[in-house]
Amino acid sequence: MDISLVIPAFNEAEGVEQTATKLNKLLARLRKQYNRVEVIFVNDGSRDNTAELLTAAFADDPDVQVVSHEVNRGLGAALRTGFMHTTGDIIVTTDFDGTYHFNTIPQILAHMQVYKVDIVTASPYHPRGGVEGVPGYRLLFSYGASLLYRLLVSWNVHTWTALFRAYRREVIETVGFESEGFLAGTELLIKAIQAGYKVSEYPTVLHVRTFGQSSLKIYRVTKAHLRYQLQLLLSGAPGRRLMRRRT
C-alpha cells in the first residue's frame, strides 16, 4: 500500500526546520510499514521563502514534492492541487504547523484498516479527544461550527472542521467540493458521507501552534460555514438519515 501526505503551507518559513525534523522522523517510521510514502507540500502563494526552504530541506528525498501557487488561493484550492499530484492508495491531509502531531498519523492509518472505513477524521471534540493551549476564541468558532453540523447532519460525528484526515483514494477521485477556502474540508466530508462512504473519528489532541501565525480569518470563515449550514437547513440536510446510519 502506498501513502500520500498532502500538507498546505502559507508563509511558514519560520517553521520549516521544525516541521522537516519531525516529518523526517515520521517518514522513516512509515517507510518501514508501507511500500511508498510521498509528501506533497502545496505552497499556497507564500510571500516569504517557504517554498525555497522546503525544497532545500528535502532536497535528498525524491518522494517529497513542493508545488506552488503563484498567488494565495485558499485552503480548498491548495487541497485540490495536492490531490492532483498524489499517487497513494490512502491520502492524508494535515496542518503544517503541528497543531495535530505528525506522530499520530500511523495511528490514523491503523484505525482506518482496523475499522475498514473510507475516511478517518481527527476529533479533538470526541469524548476521548482533547485540546491543549488553543485560544478560547478559536475553540468557540471551531466547536460551535461542529456542534451545528452535528445538529444539521449527523450527531455521530463530533468534529467537522479538522484538516487532519485520511481518505481512501476512491473518495478523493469520486467526491468533489466547491469551496476554495477553509470550508473545503467540511464540505468534502459531508458530500463523501452523502455519497455513502463510511467515516470514523479518531480521538485526537488539538495543540496550539508552536510557530508562525495562523492564516485563519475567523469572521470570513464563520460566515462561510453559516452560509453552508443555512444551505443544508433549507435543503432539509439531504442524506441526514443516511449519514446517521453509515457513520
Q: What is this structure's pTM?
A: 0.91
Cell of 52: 525555497
Q: Which residues contact 76 (CB under 8 A, 6 or more apart)?
A: 177, 178, 179, 180, 181, 182, 183, 184, 187
Report which secondary-structure segment, H or E, holds 206: strand 205-207
- Kindly state the DSSP code that residue 23 receives in the 8-state scheme: H
Query: pLDDT tens digits, residue range 183-206?
Result: 999 999 999 999 999 999 999 999
Confidence of residue 244 (pLDDT cuts 50, 70, 90): very low
Measured in residues, the chain has a length of: 247
Confidence of residue 182 (pLDDT cuts 50, 70, 90): very high
Q: Identify the CATH number of the domain defined by range 2-246.
A: 3.90.550.10
Could you give phi then psi for residue 33, rounded to 5 degrees? -105, -30
Question: CA dihedral defined by 130, 132, 136, 137, rounded to 10 degrees?
Answer: -90
Query: pLDDT tens digits, residue range 78-104?
Result: 999 999 999 999 999 999 988 999 999
Q: Is residue 247 predicted with pLDDT exceeding 80? A: no
Give the CA distances from residue 109 to residues 121, 127, 182, in Å, rounded to whole numbers and listed in that order. 10, 20, 24
Task: Enumerate the domain spans of the chain.
Answer: 2-246
